[in-house]
């Protein structure tokens, strides 16, 4: 009885360092995993970072850059993917994610220079996808499509065709049309309202100028001629600028559509167990 | 009912975890109200002679005419500001052509759905789109381009 | 060891274990609270979330939700704050806590300037019999809601329900009295172009408005008198009416801007100098 009593007393007096119980490496890791699965990636990265080296395993080494990638912090993700150990079970996946991150970060030239002579299919896909974003020469259509699975070929073919022959409008033609018939350059670009308005404005001032000269009102005649001249030349200038904006819009919409498609397909990189 | 609410809110919390992807600190909440009216910039920012001449003309126009005849321009920047900015960014001749093109587009009554907007609802149409430079920062139609 | 002693030993060890569990959760709570008190809100939320993760019995759930919500509020993240306050309310145990949390949600709606939500929540509180003894506090927050909605007259009414001499009653009344009447400015400008601008102290603008309206009015009427109907109508429509309408817009604009300045002076005082409870 005495021994029992002393034992119990001893247990109560030795108060363990209770605040560290939740901060032990094992508990920190459990908490970090919970944060990661709840998409609280920054906190999960901070928690993983607190783990001692001996506690860090392949999974954690892979999840940290993955968390950065999911948050859009591409520079940090790239740095961490590069530092994944070659012996890690996730090394191959890290390499793929590294190149995928280069694509997401818009570092196409870097991606192209690094994968230039790579024959591995997964990497070839990323390389070919990067060509859809740059103005560098596209690979042959057959080679391009061969790299991708059947399910993606149709969509990718349309992106490839659009990249090869974008539906641009010519600035020169637009300006020339507007020089011949005011407003026609804008109509060529699909801006019917602007084109008609430009035509009406130029015609109106031309008529007013003619009418006033005919009535010997020279000052008014010259005033309206001047205004008509500026509307006319302004319209030619505006048609050229509008063609540039039209082409920028084509590029923007193409990139948006392509990015959305590739995000849905995870850039044709095999998925991982950590992100659903 | 409590259980259903808890599930819905936990789900919404997961969706909102994105706000904690940057470390943040305490902020001072500002009680004051923001004004919504446009304020003119009468200063001469450029030492370009053409720009000085045009800005003087625009300032006089603002003071004697534009500040008195109401808010008529559906664009931001307004057409007069567009002229001043265009001449400042390019030169007096190119800026004038940009202005007349802008004026023509302003006269067009069918311009709805062609421009992005600022937060106050005006159409966003900066001169930087029309300088014929290589890089154009295109903004899609009806997107809120900037807060104003 | 007898059977009784064995059972006693097991019971005592179990009790000891529980007390250790409560100790480390309590220490974790203290750590999180310390970070919160130091205004290190991001890290405080991390520690509260850690507490919640390991607190399988949910002992600290409601209080930690509330503190997470407060941390988000202090970081200006109002939507997250409301979500956590709502969770805290769901998990709270007594009506005093529920009331306090509901008021916190009202305060965030006030800061967000979602007046409709704040008033609706306060209306629900007023109608709830459980808090019939907290009418003063509810009226207090109604007043603040109206302050942030820039309705100083209604704010005065709400604060006067607490006391006619309340500091905020007097402040809101003073602010409301200083304000210009937008309707009066517009009506004055309808009757005499430029009068509204004179009322708000913008004399040059008023004079110029009057001048332009007089000029185009004269030209237009003169043209009509001389039977140059087309000229008269064009001048009237494109010039006279344009400047007249601009005059009305300016009368309203200057009155609104002056009122905004007056409101902001009071709001600035409330933010930096008012010693009472603020949202």
Residue by residue, DSSP assigns B37-92 as: S-----------HHHHHHHHHHHHHIIIIITTS-----EES-HHHHHHHHHHHS-H
pLDDT at A17 over 50: no
Facing C53 at nearest CB: one of A7, A8, A34: A34
Task: Supply A35's token pair.
Answer: 């944060």
Q: Where are the beta strands (DSSP E) in chain A?
A: none
The pLDDT of A240-246, averaged and rounded, is 96
Contact at 8 Å (CB) between A232 and B101? Answer: no
* CA of residue A64 relative to chain centroid, distance: 22
Long-range contacts of C184-192 (CB under 8 A, 24+ apart): C185/C251, C185/C252, C185/C254, C185/C255, C186/C248, C186/C251, C186/C252, C186/C255, C188/C251, C189/C247, C189/C248, C189/C250, C189/C251, C190/C248
Is C279 among the domain residues?
Answer: no
Query: C107: domain CATH number?
Result: 1.25.40
The pLDDT of A259-264, averaged and rounded, is 94
% residues pLDDT > 90 (chain A): 76
Least trusted range by pLDDT, from A86-90, A129-133, B4-8: B4-8
pLDDT at A12 over 70: no
Least trusted range by pLDDT, from A93-97, B9-13, B135-139, C216-220: B9-13
Is C278 among the domain residues?
Answer: no
Is C67 among the domain residues?
Answer: yes
% residues pLDDT > 70 (chain A): 93
Distance CA A147, CA A154 (A): 13
Q: Model confidence over A158-212: pLDDT tens digits?
A: 999 999 999 999 999 999 999 999 999 999 999 999 999 999 999 999 999 999 9
C14 shares contact with chain A (CB less than 8 Å): no
Least trusted range by pLDDT, from A234-243, B129-138, C102-111: B129-138
- Chain B residues in contact with A71 by the CB 8 A cut-off are 21
- Chain B residues in contact with A40 by the CB 8 A cut-off are 17, 20
Q: Which residues contact B83 (CB under 8 A, 6 or more apart)?
A: B54, B58, B95, B96, B98, B99, B102
pLDDT at C218: 96
SS3 category, B123: strand
At A2, the pLDDT band (50, 70, 90 cuts) reads: low
pLDDT at B46: 72
Residues C142, C111 share a domain: yes
Calculate how close chain C gets to B60, using CA atoms only, in Å.
13
Residues C135, C154 share a domain: yes
Which range of residues forms the domain containing residue C105? 95-178
Those chains having 3 or more beta-carbon pairs within 8 angstroms of chain A are B, C
At B1, the pLDDT band (50, 70, 90 cuts) reads: low
% residues pLDDT > 90 (chain C): 89
Residues C264, C193 share a domain: yes
Task: Supply C209's token pair.
Answer: 């408005």
Residues C13, C1 share a domain: yes
pLDDT at A52: 87
Residues C208, C235 share a domain: yes
Query: C32: domain CATH number?
Result: 1.25.40.10
Is C210 among the domain residues?
Answer: yes
Q: Is the ipTM of this complex over 0.90?
A: no
Using alpha carbons, select from C219, C220, C218, C217 the residue that is nearest to residue C233. Answer: C220
Considering C178, C201, C227, which residue would you say is the last residue of a domain? C178
Least trusted range by pLDDT, from A249-253, C5-9, C183-187: C5-9
Least trusted range by pLDDT, from A126-130, A188-192, A272-276, C275-279: A272-276
Cα atoms in the 13 Å half-sphere on the side-chain side of C220: 17
pLDDT at B2 over 80: no
A224 versus A9: the higher-pLDDT residue is A224
The radius of gyration computed from the CA coordinates of chain C, to the nearest angstrom, equals 31
Residues C188, C134 share a domain: no
Q: Model confidence over C184-193: pLDDT tens digits?
A: 999 999 999 9
Considering C123, C147, C178, which residue would you say is the last residue of a domain? C178
Give me the total of CB pairs closer than 8 Å, taking one residue from chain A and one from chain C.
Answer: 44
Q: Indicate the pairing of strand B144-146 with strand B123-124.
A: unpaired
B99 versus A12: the higher-pLDDT residue is B99
Distance CA A42, CA A115 (A): 30
pLDDT at A18: 47
Is C228 among the domain residues?
Answer: yes
Those chains having 3 or more beta-carbon pairs within 8 angstroms of chain B are A, C
Residues C210, C167 share a domain: no
Task: Supply C242's token pair.
Answer: 């344009």
At B4, the pLDDT band (50, 70, 90 cuts) reads: low
The pLDDT of C198-211, averaged and rounded, is 96
Facing C41 at nearest CB: one of B25, B31, B72: B25
Which residues 37-66 of B are in CB contact (within 8 Å) with C?
Answer: 37, 64
Stated length of chain B: 148
Is C134 among the domain residues?
Answer: yes
Cα atoms in the 13 Å half-sphere on the side-chain side of C228: 11
Least trusted range by pLDDT, from A124-133, A188-197, C18-27, C232-241: C18-27
- Chain A residues in contact with B102 by the CB 8 A cut-off are 238
**A140 DSSP 8-state letter:** P
pLDDT at A147: 87
Inter-chain residue contact B97 with A238, CB threshold 8 Å = yes
Count Cβ atoms below 10 Å from residue A202 Cβ, excluding itself. Answer: 24
pLDDT at C271 over 70: yes
pLDDT at B17 over 80: no
Is C231 among the domain residues?
Answer: yes
Contact at 8 Å (CB) between A216 and B81? Answer: no
Is C276 among the domain residues?
Answer: no
Q: CA end-to-end span of chain A, whole Å?
A: 58
Residues C5, C80 share a domain: yes
Inter-chain residue contact C16 with A4, CB threshold 8 Å = no
C27 shares contact with chain A (CB less than 8 Å): yes
pLDDT at A171: 96
Residues C167, C80 share a domain: no
Residues C118, C205 share a domain: no
Q: Model confidence over A52-107: pLDDT tens digits?
A: 888 888 999 999 999 999 999 999 999 999 999 899 999 999 999 999 999 999 99
Residues C210, C161 share a domain: no
Least trusted range by pLDDT, from A236-245, B122-131, B139-148: B139-148
Considering C156, C178, C200, which residue would you say is the last residue of a domain? C178
Residues C230, C166 share a domain: no
SS3 category, B146: strand
Q: Where are the beta strands (DSSP E) in C10-168?
A: none
Domain count, chain C: 3
Using alpha carbons, select from A44, A86, A50 the residue that is nearest to residue A65. Answer: A44
Least trusted range by pLDDT, from A136-140, A170-174, A236-240, A254-258: A136-140
Q: Model confidence over C76-130: pLDDT tens digits?
A: 999 999 999 999 999 888 889 999 999 999 999 999 999 999 999 999 999 999 9
Q: Model confidence over B21-75: pLDDT tens digits?
A: 999 999 999 999 998 887 888 888 777 788 899 999 999 999 999 999 999 999 9
Facing A4 at nearest CB: one of C9, C49, C51: C9
Calculate how close chain B gets to A38, using CA atoms only, in Å.
6
pLDDT at B98 over 90: yes
């Amino acid at each position: 009885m005495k021994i029992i009593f002393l034992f119990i007393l001893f247990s109560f007096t030795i108060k363990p360092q209770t605040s560290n119980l939740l901060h032990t490496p094992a508990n920190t890791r459990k908490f970090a995993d919970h944060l990661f699965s709840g998409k609280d990636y920054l906190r999960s990265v901070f928690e993983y970072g607190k783990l001692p080296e001996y506690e860090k395993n392949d999974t954690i080494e892979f999840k940290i850059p993955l968390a950065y990638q999911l948050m859009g912090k591409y520079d940090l993700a790239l740095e961490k993917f590069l530092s994944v150990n070659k012996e890690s079970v996730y090394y191959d996946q890290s390499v793929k994610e590294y190149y995928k991150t280069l694509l997401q970060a818009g570092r196409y030239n870097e991606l192209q220079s690094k994968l230039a002579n790579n024959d591995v299919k997964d990497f070839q896909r990323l390389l070919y996808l990067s060509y859809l974003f740059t103005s560098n020469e596209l690979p042959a259509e057959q080679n391009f499509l061969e790299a991708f699975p059947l399910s993606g070929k149709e969509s990718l073919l349309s992106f490839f065709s659009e990249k090869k022959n974008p539906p641009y409008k010519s600035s020169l033609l637009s300006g020339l049309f507007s020089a011949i018939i005011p407003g026609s350059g804008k109509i060529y670009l699909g801006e019917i309202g602007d084109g008609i308005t430009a035509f009406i404005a130029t015609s109106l001032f031309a008529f007013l100028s003619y009418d006033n000269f005919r009535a010997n009102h020279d000052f008014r005649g010259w005033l309206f001629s001047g205004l008509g001249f500026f509307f006319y030349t302004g319209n030619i200038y505006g048609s050229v600028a509008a063609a540039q904006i039209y082409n920028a819009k084509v590029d923007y919409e193409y990139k948006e559509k392509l990015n959305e498609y590739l995000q849905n397909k995870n850039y044709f990189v095999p998925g991982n167990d950590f992100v659903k | 009912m409590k259980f259903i609410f808890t599930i819905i809110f936990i789900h919404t919390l997961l969706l909102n975890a994105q706000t904690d992807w940057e470390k943040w600190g305490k902020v001072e909440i500002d009680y004051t109200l923001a004004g919504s009216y446009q304020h003119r910039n009468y200063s001469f920012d450029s030492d370009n002679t053409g720009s000085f001449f045009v800005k003087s003309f625009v300032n006089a126009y603002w003071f004697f005419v534009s500040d008195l005849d109401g808010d008529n321009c559906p664009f931001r920047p307004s057409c007069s500001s567009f002229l001043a900015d265009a001449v400042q960014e390019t030169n007096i001749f190119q800026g004038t052509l940009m202005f007349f093109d802008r004026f023509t587009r302003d006269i067009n009554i069918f311009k709805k759905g062609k421009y992005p907007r600022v937060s106050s609802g005006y159409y966003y149409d900066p001169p930087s789109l029309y300088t014929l430079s290589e890089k154009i920062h295109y903004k899609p139609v009806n997107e809120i381009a900037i807060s104003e | 060891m007898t059977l009784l002693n064995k059972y006693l030993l097991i019971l005592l060890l179990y009790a000891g274990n529980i007390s250790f569990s409560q100790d480390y959760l309590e220490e974790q709570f203290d750590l999180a609270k310390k970070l919160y008190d130091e205004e290190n809100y991001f890290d405080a939320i991390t520690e509260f979330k850690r507490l919640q993760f390991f607190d399988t019995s949910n002992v600290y759930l409601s209080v930690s939700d509330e503190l997470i919500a407060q941390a988000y509020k202090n970081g200006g993240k109002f939507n997250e704050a409301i979500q956590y306050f709502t969770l805290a309310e769901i998990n709270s145990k007594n009506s005093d806590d529920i009331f306090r949390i509901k008021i916190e949600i009202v305060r965030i709606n006030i800061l967000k300037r979602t007046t409709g939500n704040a008033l609706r929540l306060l209306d629900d509180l007023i109608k709830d019999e459980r808090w019939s003894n907290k009418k003063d506090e509810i009226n207090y927050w109604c007043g603040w809601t109206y302050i942030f909605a820039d309705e100083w007259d209604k704010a005065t009414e709400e604060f006067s329900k607490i006391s006619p001499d309340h500091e905020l009653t007097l402040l809101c009344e003073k602010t409301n009295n200083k304000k210009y009447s937008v309707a009066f400015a517009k009506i004055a400008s309808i009757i005499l172009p430029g009068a509204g601008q004179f009322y708000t102290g913008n004399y040059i603008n008023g004079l110029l408005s009057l001048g332009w309206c007089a000029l185009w009015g004269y030209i237009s009427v003169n043209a009509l008198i001389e039977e140059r109907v087309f000229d008269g109508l064009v001048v009237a429509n494109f010039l006279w009416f344009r400047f007249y309408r601009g005059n009305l817009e300016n009368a309203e604009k200057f009155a609104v801007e002056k009122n905004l300045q007056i409101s902001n002076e009071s709001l600035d005082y409330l933010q930096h100098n008012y010693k009472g409870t603020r949202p």
